[in-house]
């Protein structure tokens, strides 16, 4: 009888936290600085505070479902078990847009950025290089990936703290006239801040990704909710404090465009800080690619193990490293699209997939806890009905803010998934029972 190879439960709380932060990439605050600054009319502190409030409801729902179902699969598992398996498949299929294109975006950004720094080396060389390196690292095991993620995330956090320390030093020298102004200004309309917050919410993506590694986490039912909360709180503290100190130092700052972060570095710390920024940013992009590759391969593994994708391919684990090696190779082959696809197109896929998953995870909490488990005391009604419904409404509103092309493409992807699932089930029904059992 063939022994089933299982994922190893080795990840601790803080390893999970750092993998989530690696996917999120704390340095994304600077890479999106120009866009966020322009969208919020310079009121980044209020915009990030609103974004934290918005994303908290969905983070709570992920925590609740990860406690109830400590399995790999994330939104696919939660919607499938909380609502219905057919809904779970479509949610997992939608989430694939987020997870599949995330490593591709990291590879593409790495290629673009490194080519800008070293113009004599073509971008495709950098893209192919990071593709191969991350493929090998991920196959070697999640614990090794977690160690690298921890080191590189700590490097990013240290840089942000150093940046904030310079800002504090400037404030100490010049004095602060109105310390509450970044939070209390009323010059920018609330509608503008809400629109900016909807954009900034994507800086928090990553807390959800760690739930795909539940079966590689020690005591996942307790660890995952704590990890999600820690990821959100750490990221919020970094983003809001950096925005606050920057606004105090430069109340009349006006920056926009892709080079806004480089201009900010020169203003705060000159050429030395700019050079350090470039170095840390390279490691940040590398780490994000590693974390996102780890995430998507675990989602594919969960769908393969459930036979909603071909099990002999997607449900395969390497007998020695206990990693979904075939998934890792396949995702890296898919990520070669980074050689041809535009960055903004890839981002649209990620946005649609993430928001769709968020919407249904919120509804899964209501379905599982409030309806099926009948947890309806006053406190439970707030936790399992009111909070997740608020989260679903907010995420639904954010979906309407996506452009038409993103919505049309996303819906087409879902329809394709539904057609594939119908064909797959029909094909499985036509296979003789003995053959099906032998194949699985």
**430 found inside a domain:** no
Query: How far, in whole angstroms, is CA 218 from its chain's centroid?
Result: 21
- pLDDT-derived band at 359, boundaries 50, 70, 90: very high
Distances, alpha carbon 409 to alpha carbons 314, 395, 401, in Å: 25, 18, 15
Three-state SS for 370?
Answer: helix
**Alpha carbon distances (Å) from 428 to 89, 302, 434, 438:** 16, 18, 12, 13
Write down the pLDDT at residue 57.
Answer: 92
Would residue 188 count as lying in a domain? yes
User: Which tens digit of pLDDT belongs to each residue from 253-263?
Assistant: 777 666 788 88
Residue range 319-347: mean pLDDT, rounded = 87
Helix, coil or strand: residue 231: helix
pLDDT confidence of residue 236: 94
Residue span of the structural domain in which 212 resides: 13-425
Residue 384 to residue 220: CA distance in whole angstroms: 20
Pair of tokens at residue 208: 């959800």
Residue 298, domain member (yes or no): yes
pLDDT digits (tens, 9 = 90+) for 384-436: 999 999 999 988 888 887 778 888 888 999 999 899 888 888 877 765 544 44
Residue 134 and residue 111: Cα distance in Å, rounded?
14
What does the pLDDT read at residue 19?
Answer: 86
Domain membership flag for residue 438: no
For 189, list phi and psi in degrees, rounded to 5.
-60, 150
Inside any domain, residue 53: yes
How far, in Å, CA of 380 to CA of 71, rounded?
Answer: 23
Degrees, nearest 5: CA angle 301-305-436: 145
What are 37-84's pLDDT values in tens digits? Answer: 888 888 899 999 988 988 899 999 999 999 999 877 788 889 999 999
- Nearest in space to 173 (alpha carbons), one of 247, 249, 246, 244: 249
Average pLDDT of the segment spanning 28-38:
83
pLDDT at 436: 42
Buried b (16+ CB within 10 A) or exposed e, 11-37: bebebbbbbbbbbbbbbbbbbbbbbbb
How many C-beta atoms lie closer than 10 Å to residue 150's C-beta?
18
Residue 431, domain member (yes or no): no
- 329 C-beta neighbours (distance < 10 Å), count: 14
Torsion of CA 171, 176, 179, 185, to 10 degrees: -110
Q: CB under 8 Å to 79, separation ≥6 — which residues? A: 87, 88, 90, 91, 92, 360, 361, 363, 364
CA-to-CA separations, 174 to 246, 247, 248, 386, 389, in angstroms, rounded: 14, 14, 11, 46, 46
Which token pair is 127?
């893209």
Q: What pLDDT shows up at residue 175?
A: 67
Residue 200 lies in a domain: yes
Q: What is the pLDDT of residues 137-163, one digit of tens each?
A: 888 887 777 788 888 899 999 999 999
CA dist 67 and 222 (Å) reads: 6
- Give the helix ranges, DSSP H, for 25-141: 28-31, 33-39, 44-68, 75-82, 85-117, 123-140
Give the CATH number for residue 332.
1.20.1740.10
Tell me the per-residue pLDDT of 226-283, one tens digit each, with 9 for 90 and over.
999 999 999 999 999 999 999 888 887 777 666 788 888 889 989 899 889 988 988 8
Please give the residue that has the higher pLDDT: either 223 or 203.
Answer: 223
- Domain total for the chain? 1
Among residues 244, 245, 248, the alpha carbon closest in space to that of 177 is found at: 248
Smallest CA-to-CA distance from 98 within 295, 273, 253, 323 is with 295
């Amino acid at each position: 009888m063939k022994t089933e190879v299982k994922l190893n439960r080795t990840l601790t709380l803080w390893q999970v936290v750092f993998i989530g932060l690696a996917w999120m990439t704390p340095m994304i605050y600077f890479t999106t600085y120009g866009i966020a600054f322009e969208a919020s009319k310079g009121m980044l502190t209020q915009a990030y505070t609103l974004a934290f409030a918005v994303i908290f409801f969905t983070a709570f729902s992920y925590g609740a479902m990860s406690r109830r179902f400590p399995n790999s699969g994330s939104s696919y598992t939660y919607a499938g078990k909380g609502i219905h398996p057919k809904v779970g498949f479509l949610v997992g299929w939608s989430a694939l847009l987020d997870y599949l294109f995330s490593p591709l975006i990291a590879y593409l950004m790495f290629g673009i950025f490194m080519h800008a720094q070293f113009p004599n080396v073509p971008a495709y060389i950098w893209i192919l290089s990071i593709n191969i390196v991350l493929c090998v690292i991920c196959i070697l095991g999640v614990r090794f990936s977690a160690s690298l993620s921890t080191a590189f995330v700590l490097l990013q956090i240290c840089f942000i703290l150093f940046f904030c320390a310079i800002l504090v030093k400037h404030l100490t020298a010049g004095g602060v006239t109105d310390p509450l102004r970044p939070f209390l200004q009323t010059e920018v309309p609330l509608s503008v801040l809400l629109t900016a917050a909807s954009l900034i919410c994507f800086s928090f993506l990553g807390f959800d990704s760690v739930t795909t590694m539940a079966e590689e986490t020690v005591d996942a039912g307790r660890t995952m909710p704590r990890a999600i909360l820690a990821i959100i709180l750490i990221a919020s503290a970094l983003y809001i404090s950096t925005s606050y100190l920057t606004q105090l130092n430069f109340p009349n700052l006006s920056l926009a465009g892709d080079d806004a972060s480089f201009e900010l570095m020169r203003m705060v710390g000159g050429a030395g800080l700019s050079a350090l920024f470039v170095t840390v940013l390279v490691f940040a992009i590398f780490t994000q690619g590693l974390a996102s590759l780890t995430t998507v391969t675990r989602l594919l593994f969960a769908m393969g193990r459930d036979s909603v994708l071909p099990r002999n391919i997607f449900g395969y684990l390497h007998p020695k490293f206990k990693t979904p090696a075939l998934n890792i190779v396949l995702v890296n082959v898919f990520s070669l699209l980074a050689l041809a696809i535009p960055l903004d197109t890839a981002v649209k896929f990620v946005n649609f997939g993430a928001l769709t998953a968020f919407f249904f995870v919120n509804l899964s909490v209501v379905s599982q806890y409030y309806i099926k488990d009948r947890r309806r005391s006053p406190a439970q009604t707030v936790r399992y009905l009111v909070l997740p419904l608020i989260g679903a409404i907010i995420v639904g509103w954010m979906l309407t803010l996506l452009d038409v092309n993103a919505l049309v493409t996303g819906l087409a992807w879902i329809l394709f998934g539904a057609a594939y699932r119908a064909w797959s089930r029909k094909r499985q029904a036509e296979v003789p029972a003995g053959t099906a059992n032998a194949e699985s």
